[in-house]
Structure 1
Amino acid sequence: MDKLLRKPYTFLYRGVVPPMLRAAVNLYGVEELAGLDDNPVILGWAHEVAATDNVGGWLKEFYTEDEIPWCGLFAAVCAVRAGSRAFNKCLAAREWMHWGQDVEDDDVGLGDVLVFWRGNPAGKSGHVGFYVGESPDGDFYHVLGGNQGDEVSIVKIPSYRLLGARRQPGERGHGRRVIEGGKVTEGEG
């Protein structure tokens, strides 16, 4: 896309980056269109994910505008492009807790899928994105995700909101990364 990663995130352009995170980096900067227009790139993701054998056509019928929360759709298109399978409830952020391999909190690393609560820890709303790093004090995760400020971006999300982490099937851990700075989210979506 037109936007490039800035320091401290430029390390994502080089070295070993897990496949789903690589797919996410390639989509960095995609954003919703203001007003009544919809970004055809985001809408195209619904068609791409719906074309997989285990999701079904309902997704492209349901996902008709970029105002519909799309963090789960973003994670799903990254999974598909990385050679993994999406799943039927992939639009619901909290449903990502049932995908892939479980990751213990102390083993979370580069490229792992992070699932957060949004609004209320016991509620249904959530957010999903990819681990890029964490603050030196461990209070924040640096997360590359979709629908963060209406775009694919990297923001810092408080670590106390983490519900759990998952890893792409067949992938090994890629280690933790401490990152100074970054923008704290005011809320996703």
Structure 2
Amino acid sequence: MTAALLPREYHWLAAEPAPRMLLEGLKTFGTLEGPGAEDHPVIMGWAKEVGVPKIEQVFTADSVPWCGLWMAVIAKRAGKPVNPNALWARSWLNWGSAVAEPKLGDVLVFRRGNTSGHVGLYVGEDDGAFHVLGGNQGDKVSIVRIARSRLLGARNHYAIGQPPNCRRVFLKTTGTLSTNES
């Protein structure tokens, strides 16, 4: 990932050596849904790549919410276990281990309405929001700010220990808050 693809305030991410899920996620930055009724072949291929039974029967178009699918493909590519209910954002609350304070590369699960959710990776935080790398944010893989009040939980999955650069990252408050990531 080159810094040129990232918004200026996130260029520093291109030099991060870990965690692996963050590195894999950055490789997909900018992937955009197909226009109109067209489906992006890369996004559609992720359903087959993750290998979760029946996921291809549910994920039939890139207009179906795909933040959980993106998270599953990132986890798989990083050598982490794949959530068997990957498509459902809130199911990521059962993946890995709960963490009290999210850090770089941790999985964040957010409330979206009363029953829906959104899942992405912690990039940083400011006073009112988390900065989140995720899929299906404005119909693409991007970084958005999501209000802290919407956080349902944070998770990580380290079999042999957390990378040394996993840390809280404090960023400037820039841009608007995302209110609907689909």
How far the C-alpha of 1:183 sits from its partner, in A, is 4.2
With normalisation by structure 1, the TM-score equals 0.88
Deviations 1:14-55 (A, max 9, x none): 1332100111000000011121100000000000001xxxx3
Tell me, in whole angstroms, the C-alpha distance in 1 between the residues paired with 2:175 and 2:103. Answer: 18
Q: Quick check: 1:97–1:164 contact (8 Å CA) kept in 2?
A: yes
Residue of structure 2 equivalent to 1:112: 106
Change (3 A) 1:97 1:91: same
Corresponding residue pairs, total: 177
Spell out structure 1 runs of 4+ moving beyond 4 A: none
CA distance in 2, matches of 1:39, 1:64: 11
**Residue number in structure 1 paired with 2:62:** 66
Matches within 5 A, 1:17-96: 17-50=18-51, 55-56=52-53, 58-96=54-92
Residue in 1 aligned with 2:134? 145
1:186 and 1:117 mapped to 2: Cα distance?
Answer: 10
Quote how far apart the aligned CAs of 1:187 are.
1.2
Contact 1:129 1:146 (C-alpha < 8 Å) held by counterparts:
yes
The one-letter amino acid of 2:156's match is R
- Superposed, which structure 2 residues align to 1:112-131 within 5 Å? 112-120=106-114, 124-131=115-122
Moved more, 167-176 or 140-149: 167-176
User: 2: distance between equivalents of 1:91 and 1:29?
Assistant: 20
SS of residue matched to 2:37: coil
Residue segments in structure 1 that go unaligned for 5+ positions in a row: none
Matches for 1:6-25 after TM superposition, within 5 Å: 6-25=7-26
Q: Per-residue deviation at 1:6?
A: 2.0
2-side partners of 1:97 and 1:10: how far apart? 29
The partner residue of 2:181 within 174, 184, 188 is 188
Taking structure 2 as the reference length, the TM-score comes to: 0.92
Q: Deviations over 1:87-135 (max 9, x none)?
A: 221100000000011111xx21000000000012xxx200000000001
Matched, 1:160 2:153: no
**Alignment check: 8 A CA contact 1:142 1:182 kept:** no
Structure 2: which 5+ runs fail to align? none
Q: Hey, what's the Cα distance between the residues in 2 that align with 1:75 and 1:46? A: 11
2:72 maps to a residue whose letter is A
RMSD: 1.7
